[in-house]
Amino acid sequence: MSILDFFKNMVNTSSKSKINTNRQNKREIKSIHDFSNAEIELLKYMDNKPLTFDIPAYWNEKVNDPKQFIELCISKKYVNDQNIEGSLMRLTIAELKKILDMYGLPKKGKKGDLVKTIKENLSLEQIKKYPDFKLYYSLSDELRTRIDNYLKEKEENFNKMFDDIVKFIKEGNIDAAIERYFNYERSLVFVPSSGPFFSEQQKRSFDIAFNELSYSDVVNTEEYINILKAVIIACMITGIDYMRKNIVVDYINNNTNEIFNCPKLKEYLMDTYNYLGDEFFAIDKNNPAAEAMLKIYIHTKSSEAMNKAVYYEVVESDDPYIIGIEILPPNNPDDMCKICKRKKKIYKKSEFDKLPKIPAHYGCRCSYLKKYKPLG
């Protein structure tokens, strides 16, 4: 099955799902286990929101009549819309004392004491007369447990998908890896912003990552480096935020006893952040710095592969509207990379002999971007 066929199937499945949702009658709940994934996501989203908040319109595509669904959850006691104590705790001590002043009540004690005095002596209608008081939704303990279990299952599904993708990549089956990712995306309530379609540019970057990138700076066995390569491509396919998620480090540590060792990266970090000593970078699986180094390295190599793919696409393209490459630094107030001090700059195809290599350093967040001729 081609990439385009995967995309068409995904769109068709999504359309059918929307039609079926729109045909639903009034929702009934027999048990807390009846919630769909979309309904759980909605309940998680609305937890600790004020009763006056407006549900964003996009929820109508995910949950049939979300307002009616929330009202039903309130009637079932899964959601509390009379959470007086929790709502009072959101106020400052000064605000709580103003409420107590309104009714001549004592203002002694800590915040919890003030809330207790208000709750024991005033009705909800009296409390509401204070203009800054708002009631907030809160979820029952049973519902919170249901959400926690859902999130745990969601994480487990992602981890299983990631493991499968790495396995397919190590077997050299990129198409199977992409199909596995599509199947995972179909199960999600919210699809990642990267979207389900992989362009030829992205597929090229997978080949580059596996065949053209040099790992000569890594002092590890070939077996370890092959795992590292596969993980990098898996990160690129899934769009995982590999600088923050521990799944990358966990996968590598669970599949090898070796410890990531890159003397050049260690030297670079010590030179750049000269207050860090040798002890900080101890080659130890339990050392957070060692894990951080591995994430930085994976980020750097993924960035290198993607930038190479953009470069090759521009060089080989016959599109007259693609005129070159723009260096795009990370977003910050100065609009430049804080380390390599690189600013935005456009290089036309005729200037590619001067095009700087990106990433310029370990952890560099600058990137290549295709530059198009302005319209009109």
Per-residue pLDDT tens digits for 7-22? 445 445 544 444 444 4
48: amino acid identity, one letter: N
Q: What is the pLDDT of residue 335?
A: 66
**For residue 88, what are the contacts with CB-CB under 8 A and spacing of at least 6?**
96, 115, 118, 119, 127, 133
**DSSP one-letter code for 55:** P
Cβ pair 55, 66 in contact under 8 A: yes
Distance of CA 337 to the CA centre of its chain: 23
Each as own residue / partner, the long-range contacts of residues 355-360 (CB below 8 Å, 24 or more positions apart, any chain) are 355/311, 355/325, 356/327, 358/303, 358/304, 358/307, 358/327, 359/300, 359/303, 359/304, 359/307
What are the helix (H) ranges across the chain? 3-22, 37-46, 59-62, 66-75, 84-88, 93-102, 111-121, 124-128, 141-170, 174-186, 200-211, 222-238, 247-255, 263-272, 288-316
CB atoms closer than 10 angstroms to residue 109? 12
Q: What is the pLDDT of residue 17?
A: 44
Residue from 216, 213, 226 nearest 171 by CA? 226
Cα–Cα distance, 264 to 235 (Å, whole number)? 23
Using pLDDT thresholds of 50, 70 and 90, give the confidence band for residue 87: very high
Using pLDDT thresholds of 50, 70 and 90, give the confidence band for residue 334: low
Backbone angles phi, psi at 324, to 5 degrees: 170, -155
pTM (two decimals): 0.75
Residue found by looking up tokens 């339990």 in the block: 286
Q: Is the pLDDT of residue 74 over 60?
A: yes
Residue found by looking up tokens 């109508």 in the block: 60
User: pLDDT tens digits, residue range 91-132?
Assistant: 999 999 999 999 999 998 999 999 999 999 999 999 999 999
